[in-house]
A and B are shown apart, each in its own frame.
Chain A
Amino acid sequence: MTDAGTAVRTRPREPGPRRRARGGGGWGNQNAAGWLFVTPVLVVLGLFLVIPIVMALWVSFTDWNGRGNPFASGFVGADNYTELVSEDGLTRSDFMTSLRNNFFYVLLVVPAQTALALFLALVLNQQVLKARGFFRTAFYFPSVVSSVAISLVFVFLFTGGGAVNKLLALVGLDGPNWLADPRGVLHLLGDKIGLWDMASPPGSLSDGSLLGLSWWSWLSGPSVALTVIIMLVVWTTTGTFMLMFLAALQDLPADVEEAARMDGASRWQSFRNVTLPHLRPTMLLVLTLGLIGTWQVFDQVYVMSQGGPSKTTLTPAYLSYTYAFDNQQWGVAAAMAFVLFLIIFLLTSVQRWLFRDKDEIAVKRQDRQARRARRKTLATGDTR
């Protein structure tokens, strides 16, 4: 409405992109407040996470000896990385040994903890189960207890004359000297079924070598000592993942499952075609967290075995620690950490690709194509 007598602008505010109103109004204040709340966390994350990682990346390209400013020490380029993967020597064989140990560890722990967590979550999700709260606490309890305390208890349980061996003796089995036994499980199995003789390994396997370790070494499987750590970790981390699965299962409405049943699906069919697809995002989360956590195992090795016996519980994280603090070879240690990062990144990327939702991707692609086609017709069509 315009009034010819006054110069006051009474035209209503126009919608559409326009500069921010002076004095802020609603949007400006919220923006500033948001930044104010987030800045402390950003500072903390930057100082204690981003900066140390960047510094460590720098150290991995130097030969810093632990004294003084790492930015002032000699730049050696990719020497530390080549020492780890291509130069024949003790560092490479140590690193490859640690990768082999950790690979078998991951291979056993991740499927075991995922399957066990899913199984326990399904059990707890039953309507008929009484005292659900008690069982939930009992299964989750090991995750809460300090990993150092549990490791020490396991050391005592698994000594040569400890509780576990006494239990095995009750059923007539002679338990090994668990944490002092460096024999590989695959070697033992092959020996048992007559595939090879552990005392004199077949020439084809012990003569050839890959990256500093003989094929016989690569195929050793986890050692008996490492299986103790595997058992410990599966027992402690199952609880956390069980809770995640449980939350996702409780999200699945009961009538969906009922509908499937009424359509004539058996329990197994309804589990496979209704429950599992619903659990896909949680499964992705559990597997990703599992992969990341298992490739970085350190606490248990530090407390229980310190890499022994015969380097069969050595892991890249622990090796990096000893090379840095005990051997004062900080550049190599930092390089190990970043090679480990690359491995984890690669594996989780592969896993994400495997778990992609193909239908969703197809729909998104169609949308994109439709939008592009529309834009094209708008541009080349009549000017409006």
Chain B
Amino acid sequence: MYSLNRHRPALRPLALASTALICVTALAACGGGGFEEGGGDGADGPSSGDGPAALEMLIASSGDAETAAVEAAANAWAEETGNEVKVVVASDIAQQLSQGFAGGAPPDVFYVDAAVFGDYAEAGNLYPYLDQLDAADDFYPNLVETFTLDDEAYCAPKDFSTLALQINTKSWEAAGLTDADIPTTWEELEAVATQLTTDDQAGLAIGVGRDRVGAFLVQNGGFWVDAESGEATATEENNAEALAYVQGLLDSGVAVLPPEVDAGWGGEAFGTEGAAMTIEGNWMRGAMSTDYPDLEYTVAELPEGPAGKGTLLFTQCWGISADSPDQEAAISLVEALTEPEQQLAFAEAFGVMPSRQSAEADYVAAFPDDAAFIAGGEYGQGPVNLPGLAPVLADLDSQLEQLEGADVDSILESFQTNAEAALQ
């Protein structure tokens, strides 16, 4: 007690002083350096460094096949041009990209999913380079539109997938159906699903959420939003009709949601023969050959709705960061990665479809079973890409989980209200 009493008057200012010193030092360390808003601005042209470039690429890989294919392509470019590329596989790409953007030193090239494109573009994280590519016109227009914001096309689509109808061959033939019965209209789809529904198997498994049900909206001539005008269009009549049609299929029991048959997604419901048909995308080829190799199935285009053909596109683009110190080299890398031969090599390795129209003929020749998927490139609708809508879309998905027995109009109205509030 004696010594503490003696030192207390001296102790407090010393404690305060040292804490203040630490805080000031830390703030000074944080405040300098990497927080500069730098990098190429669209108007000034791409940035370029001196000497050979050392690029960093961040990808969200679907598996070893994709990682190996991307690394091989990047290394081939690196050897040819004398630069260096480091390919990093992200465990959580949204988190790692956010860290990069916040710190001012993101990877030079990275995958940009259509769902996050709007937010990244609006925040200024992406460098718009598409018009600098020689092959800019060769990409499917629907895909380029998915990565366009405020009339500016930002990045090159790297590949895409579409939805199509998978049909279990055994159940099909057991119900006495032939090729001529493949449904091409909504009424035919309902009829066929009813015929295929047995006690142990439902006719059709429709995945949960807007990324499956949305196809029906497109087939009826509507969609959740209108990308061109930047407005939400959910409350239009055709959307309610489309949702009511799907609800009718679910209520009558000819269609099921995957959780009802103990499946995590449509492919699992299809593979475990919980349903005779399902609506899924290109990834089915890989999933089925790995998990359910003995199941025989055919793929057909989705039936037309009252307004014509419609399906959903899922795509990602090669994003180049606005802060990259060597955007010229990055553009050259992207050009190499989007060459038709390279895109076909990726298609072979991990089952995606090339985003360039000139590669379509070769793709169909190599994978005739996937003709139905790639045909969707002409009339498919890309995902909602308007910035700020992510929580609204998540809310829509959570309401669509309960589509059976829900009030279709109230789902669409609540989406409309929330979207309008978010888009202003």
Measuring CB to CB, which residues of chain A are less than 8 angstroms from any residue of chain B?
15, 17-18, 20, 27, 31, 35, 39, 42-43, 46-47, 50-51, 65-72, 89-91, 94, 159-161, 177, 180, 182, 308-311, 322-329
- Taking a contact as CB atoms closer than 8 A, the residue among B18, B27, B37, B98 that contacts A325 in the complex is B98
Provide a sorted-by-A list of 17 A–B residue pairs whose CB atoms are within 8 angstroms.
A47-B26, A51-B26, A66-B101, A68-B35, A72-B35, A89-B418, A89-B421, A90-B392, A94-B391, A94-B395, A159-B262, A161-B262, A182-B402, A308-B398, A326-B94, A327-B391, A328-B120
Contact of B82 with A by CB under 8 A: no
A69 vs B388: C-alpha distance in the bound complex, in angstroms?
21
Is there an interface contact between A310 and B123, defined as CB atoms closer than 8 Å?
Answer: no
A47 vs B391: C-alpha distance in the bound complex, in angstroms?
32
Contact of B171 with A by CB under 8 A: no
- Which residues of A are found within 8 Å of B12, using beta-carbon distances? none
Interface bits B351-395 vs A (CB < 8 Å: 1, else 0): 000000000000000000000000000000000000010111011
- Which residues of B are found within 8 Å of A71, using beta-carbon distances? 31
Contact of B30 with A by CB under 8 A: yes
Is there an interface contact between A51 and B30, defined as CB atoms closer than 8 Å?
Answer: yes
- Which residues of B are found within 8 Å of A70, using beta-carbon distances? 102
- The A/B interface has a contact count, at CB < 8 Å, of 106
- Taking a contact as CB atoms closer than 8 A, the residue among A50, A90, A324 that contacts B422 in the complex is A90
Is there an interface contact between A90 and B421, defined as CB atoms closer than 8 Å?
Answer: yes
A70 vs B3: C-alpha distance in the bound complex, in angstroms?
46
CB contact under 8 A between A323 and B391, given known A27-B3, A67-B101: yes
A42 vs B27: C-alpha distance in the bound complex, in angstroms?
15
Is there an interface contact between B390 and A326, defined as CB atoms closer than 8 Å?
Answer: yes
Is there an interface contact between A66 and B102, defined as CB atoms closer than 8 Å?
Answer: yes
- Which residues of A are found within 8 Å of B14, using beta-carbon distances? 35
Is there an interface contact between A180 and B259, defined as CB atoms closer than 8 Å?
Answer: yes
- Which residues of A are found within 8 Å of B95, using beta-carbon distances? 325
CB contact under 8 A between A325 and B23, given known A67-B124, A68-B102, A310-B402: no
Is there an interface contact between B123 and A67, defined as CB atoms closer than 8 Å?
Answer: yes
Is there an interface contact between B418 and A90, defined as CB atoms closer than 8 Å?
Answer: yes
Interface residue total, chain B, C-beta cutoff 8 A: 47
Task: State the 6 A-B residue pairs at the shortest beta-carbon distance, nearest first.
Answer: A69-B35, A160-B262, A327-B390, A180-B259, A65-B123, A328-B119
B144 to chain A, nearest CB (A): 23
Contact of B22 with A by CB under 8 A: yes
A51 vs B122: C-alpha distance in the bound complex, in angstroms?
29
CB contact under 8 A between A310 and B401, given known A180-B259, A325-B95: yes
Is there an interface contact between A46 and B390, defined as CB atoms closer than 8 Å?
Answer: no
Of residues 23 through 55 on chain B, the ones whose CB sits less than 8 Å from some CB of chain A are 23, 26-27, 30-31, 35-37
- Which residues of B are found within 8 Å of A329, using beta-carbon distances? 391
A17 vs B119: C-alpha distance in the bound complex, in angstroms?
65
- Which residues of A are found within 8 Å of B102, using beta-carbon distances? 66-68, 70
CB contact under 8 A between A31 and B395, given known A46-B26, A67-B102, A90-B421: no
- Taking a contact as CB atoms closer than 8 A, the residue among A18, A51, A65, A161 that contacts B23 in the complex is A51
A71 vs B98: C-alpha distance in the bound complex, in angstroms?
17
Is there an interface contact between A327 and B125, defined as CB atoms closer than 8 Å?
Answer: no
Contact of B5 with A by CB under 8 A: yes
B91 to chain A, nearest CB (A): 12
CB contact under 8 A between A43 and B35, given known A17-B5, A324-B98, A325-B98: no
* Nearest chain B residue, comparing its CB with the CB of A321: B95
Is there an interface contact between B23 and A46, defined as CB atoms closer than 8 Å?
Answer: yes
Is there an interface contact between A66 and B418, defined as CB atoms closer than 8 Å?
Answer: no
Is there an interface contact between A90 and B391, defined as CB atoms closer than 8 Å?
Answer: yes
A318 vs B388: C-alpha distance in the bound complex, in angstroms?
19
Measuring CB to CB, which residues of chain B are less than 8 angstroms from any residue of chain A?
2-3, 5-7, 10, 14, 18-19, 22-23, 26-27, 30-31, 35-37, 92, 94-95, 98, 101-102, 104, 116, 119-120, 122-125, 259, 262, 388, 390-392, 394-395, 398-399, 401-402, 418, 421-422
A27 vs B5: C-alpha distance in the bound complex, in angstroms?
12
B268 to chain A, nearest CB (A): 11
A285 to chain B, nearest CB (A): 27
- Which residues of B are found within 8 Å of A177, using beta-carbon distances? 259, 262
A46 vs B20: C-alpha distance in the bound complex, in angstroms?
10
Is there an interface contact between B18 and A39, defined as CB atoms closer than 8 Å?
Answer: yes
B108 to chain A, nearest CB (A): 16
* Nearest chain B residue, comparing its CB with the CB of A91: B391
A91 vs B421: C-alpha distance in the bound complex, in angstroms?
11
* Nearest chain A residue, comparing its CB with the CB of B38: A68
B16 to chain A, nearest CB (A): 13
A168 vs B364: C-alpha distance in the bound complex, in angstroms?
50
A89 vs B27: C-alpha distance in the bound complex, in angstroms?
36
- Which residues of A are found within 8 Å of B98, using beta-carbon distances? 66, 324-325, 328
Q: Which of B19, B23, B394, B401 has the most CB of A within 10 A?
A: B394
Q: Which of B391, B402, B421 has the most CB of A within 10 A?
A: B391
A31 vs B116: C-alpha distance in the bound complex, in angstroms?
55
Is there an interface contact between B6 and A17, defined as CB atoms closer than 8 Å?
Answer: yes
Is there an interface contact between B26 and A66, defined as CB atoms closer than 8 Å?
Answer: no
B367 to chain A, nearest CB (A): 33
- Which residues of A are found within 8 Å of B122, using beta-carbon distances? 65
* Nearest chain A residue, comparing its CB with the CB of B4: A27
CB contact under 8 A between A90 and B123, given known A27-B6, A46-B22: no
* Nearest chain A residue, comparing its CB with the CB of B422: A90
- Which residues of B are found within 8 Å of A323, using beta-carbon distances? 391
17 further contact pairs, Cβ within 8 A, besides A51-B30, A90-B422, A310-B398: A27-B6, A35-B14, A35-B18, A42-B22, A46-B23, A47-B26, A65-B123, A89-B418, A91-B391, A177-B259, A308-B401, A309-B401, A322-B394, A326-B390, A327-B388, A328-B123, A329-B391
* Nearest chain B residue, comparing its CB with the CB of A306: B394
Is there an interface contact between A182 and B119, defined as CB atoms closer than 8 Å?
Answer: no
- Which residues of A are found within 8 Å of B94, using beta-carbon distances? 325-326
Is there an interface contact between A66 and B123, defined as CB atoms closer than 8 Å?
Answer: yes
* Nearest chain B residue, comparing its CB with the CB of A71: B31
Q: Which of B10, B262, B398, B402 has the most CB of A within 10 A?
A: B398
A68 to chain B, nearest CB (A): 5
A239 to chain B, nearest CB (A): 29
- Taking a contact as CB atoms closer than 8 A, the residue among A31, A89, A310 that contacts B7 in the complex is A31
- Taking a contact as CB atoms closer than 8 A, the residue among A67, A89, A91, A180 that contacts B125 in the complex is A67
B149 to chain A, nearest CB (A): 14
* Nearest chain A residue, comparing its CB with the CB of B419: A90
A126 vs B191: C-alpha distance in the bound complex, in angstroms?
70
A184 vs B238: C-alpha distance in the bound complex, in angstroms?
33
A9 vs B392: C-alpha distance in the bound complex, in angstroms?
85
A302 vs B37: C-alpha distance in the bound complex, in angstroms?
33
Q: Which of A20, A91, A322, A326 has the most CB of B within 10 A?
A: A326
A47 vs B22: C-alpha distance in the bound complex, in angstroms?
8
A250 vs B156: C-alpha distance in the bound complex, in angstroms?
68
Is there an interface contact between B401 and A18, defined as CB atoms closer than 8 Å?
Answer: no
- Which residues of A are found within 8 Å of B123, using beta-carbon distances? 65-67, 328
* Nearest chain B residue, comparing its CB with the CB of A72: B35
A234 vs B210: C-alpha distance in the bound complex, in angstroms?
35
